[in-house]
């Protein structure tokens, strides 16, 4: 079964995207320097996974001609308060870059203050048309920002696409920080367009596994934007998120009530709500022939491309049981290509990989994402050993799992 590939919005869903987490370190020159490709991630050892990796403390690359930095910091520090029975919270904060003229975002650096509890951070650009809805949502929610499992959670910004999946159209996912990431640096001829009056919604995923479920202190993270006015030749970017199901059974020597798939889905629903809880079954319906779960350590999903684009780079995201991830173009055909290959996934080294050269993708092409998870890692990782055995399905918690190939693309003429 194939599902449509389309620009992602709020969550890493099948053809759109559910939850959130994308890095867009790319384009024509995805780099840690202005003209130097980013270094590939080092292979992960069997026990190399950990709960958190460290901050984005590396200094940004020097400004290039026509660029400027805009530094944005959370208005006040926030102490995570996960729902009862959970150790994860997603918190959204409004950041206003004060734009009076259109600009292109050519670089982003998320600077987490408290890396002991920071799992990842996502940067959303909110169009001027949805700015009022975001401010109103923030104003009626107690405390700094608001809890936002899934996407931004702002009514009025969400729309339904052709597949009836919420895409948070007014809140475009443009970048993310994850362990191992430093500054996202794009080529000067490409960028994410921000109109005057646009806002930034910064979503931080806090996880308390490393603090044994205790508060772990507060956090006041910051985001640095690299902006330029652009030229008539500047290409506008989009982020595509390609997901696949996670159906990882308990190991043969494990047992417990959560080793039942339905019970595990119910547990995710209790912790994160029905939208997140129902996504495991939605993915199976979209990706598996007959809509039947296929228990096992390796899962895949085919996404049908709907519009002509150029793909510049890719980024793979899983959680702590992830082993490998791959995104293929038109697999099983003479024109097959591997666009993204992460043979040894390392949770603490999640980085964007620049394609050797940009690849044009046409309507009707297939993008297949494949992920392999390893339930045996649960016994090796200190952060997971104390959790009860479970049939692992898609969920927003660090102890749950995901499978996402995040691709940075630019629309092109047919």
Domains and their CATH numbers in the chain: 2-411 (2.60.120.310)
Contact 238, 129 (CB under 8 A): no
| Res 164 pLDDT > 60 | no
CA 156 from centroid of its chain's CA atoms: 22
Helices (H), ranges, 274-324: 274-277, 279-287
> Counting Cβ atoms within 10 Å, is residue 39 exposed (0-12), middle (13-18) or buried (19+)?
exposed
- Any idea which of 53-62, 152-161, 360-369, 401-410 has the lowest mean pLDDT? 152-161
Instruction: Please compute, for residue 328, the number of CA atoms within 13 A of its CA located in the half-sphere on the CB side.
Output: 16
Confidence label for 168 from pLDDT (cuts 50, 70 and 90)? very low
Cα–Cα dist 29/184, whole Å: 11
**Beta bridge pairs of residue 367:** 303, 329
Summarised one tens digit per residue, pLDDT across range 244-277 is: 999 999 999 999 999 999 999 999 999 988 988 9
pLDDT at 41: 33
Please give the average per-residue pLDDT across 56-67, as a whole number.
Answer: 83
Q: Does the pLDDT of residue 181 top 90, yes or no?
A: no
pLDDT at 309: 96
Span of 23-27, 42-46, 131-135 with lowest mean pLDDT = 23-27
Q: Lowest-pLDDT range, 169-173, 203-207, 324-328, 341-345?
A: 169-173
Residue closest to 194 by CA, chosen among 145, 228, 154: 228
- What value does the mean pLDDT of the chain take? 82
**Secondary structure of residue 20 in the 3-state scheme:** coil
Q: Is the pLDDT of residue 175 over 90?
A: no
* Pairwise CA distance, residues 34 & 200, whole Å: 25
Tokens linked to 117? 């509890």
Q: What pLDDT was estimated at residue 371?
A: 98
Rounded Cα distance, 158 and 113, in Å = 30
Predicted confidence at residue 178, as pLDDT, reads 73
pLDDT at 172: 80
For 305-328, the pLDDT digits (tens) are 999 999 988 889 899 899 999 999
- Confidence at residue 3, expressed as pLDDT on a 0 to 100 scale: 63
Strand partners, 362: none
pLDDT of residue 122: 84
What's phi and psi for 42, nearest 5 deg?
A: -75, 150
Q: Can you tell me whether residue 164 is helix, strand or coil?
A: coil
Phi-psi region of 278 (alpha: psi -120 to 50; beta: other; left: phi over 0): alpha
Q: Are the C-beta atoms of 120 and 199 separated by less than 8 Å? A: no
- The strand pairing partners of 370, in sequence order, are 300, 326
């Amino acid at each position: 079964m194939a599902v449509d590939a389309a620009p992602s919005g709020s969550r890493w869903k099948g053809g759109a995207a559910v939850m959130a987490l994308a890095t867009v370190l790319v384009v024509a020159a995805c780099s840690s320097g202005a003209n130097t490709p980013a270094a590939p991630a080092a292979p992960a050892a069997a026990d190399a996974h950990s709960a958190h990796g460290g901050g984005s403390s590396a200094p940004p690359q020097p400004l290039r001609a026509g660029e400027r930095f805009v530094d944005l910091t959370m208005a006040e520090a926030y102490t995570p308060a996960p729902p009862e029975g959970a150790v994860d919270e997603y918190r959204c904060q409004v950041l206003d870059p004060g734009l009076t003229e259109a600009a292109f975002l050519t670089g982003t650096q998320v600077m987490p203050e408290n890396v002991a509890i920071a799992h990842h951070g996502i940067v959303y650009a909110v169009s001027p048309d949805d700015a009022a809805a975001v401010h109103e949502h923030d104003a009626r929610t107690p405390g700094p920002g608001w809890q936002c499992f899934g996407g931004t959670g702002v009514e009025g910004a969400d729309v339904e696409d052709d597949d009836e999946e919420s895409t948070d159209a007014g809140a475009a996912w443009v970048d993310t920080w994850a362990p191992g990431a430093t500054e996202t640096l794009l080529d000067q001829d490409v960028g994410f367009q921000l109109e005057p009056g646009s806002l930034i919604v910064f979503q931080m995923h806090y996880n308390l596994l490393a603090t044994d479920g205790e508060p772990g202190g507060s956090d006041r993270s910051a985001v640095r934007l690299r902006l330029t006015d652009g030229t008539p030749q500047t290409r506008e970017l989009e982020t595509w998120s390609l997901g696949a199901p996670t159906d990882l059974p308990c190991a043969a020597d494990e047992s417990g009530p959560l080793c039942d798939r339905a019970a595990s889905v119910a547990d995710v629903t209790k912790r994160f709500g029905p939208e997140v809880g129902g996504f495991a079954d939605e993915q199976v319906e979209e990706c598996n022939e007959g809509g039947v779960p296929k228990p096992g350590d390796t899962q895949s999903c085919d996404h049908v491309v709907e519009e002509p684009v150029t793909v510049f780079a890719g980024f793979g995201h899983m959680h702590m049981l992830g082993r490998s991830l791959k995104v293929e173009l038109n697999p099983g055909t003479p024109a097959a290509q591997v666009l993204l290959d992460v043979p040894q996934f390392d949770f603490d080294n999640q980085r964007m990989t620049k394609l050797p050269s940009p690849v044009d993708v046409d309507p009707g092409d297939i993008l297949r994402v494949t992920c392999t998870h390893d339930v045996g890692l649960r016994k090796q990782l200190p952060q997971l050993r104390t959790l009860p055995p479970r049939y692992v399905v898609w969920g927003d918690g660090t102890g749950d799992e995901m499978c996402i190939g995040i691709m940075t693309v630019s629309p092109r003429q047919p």
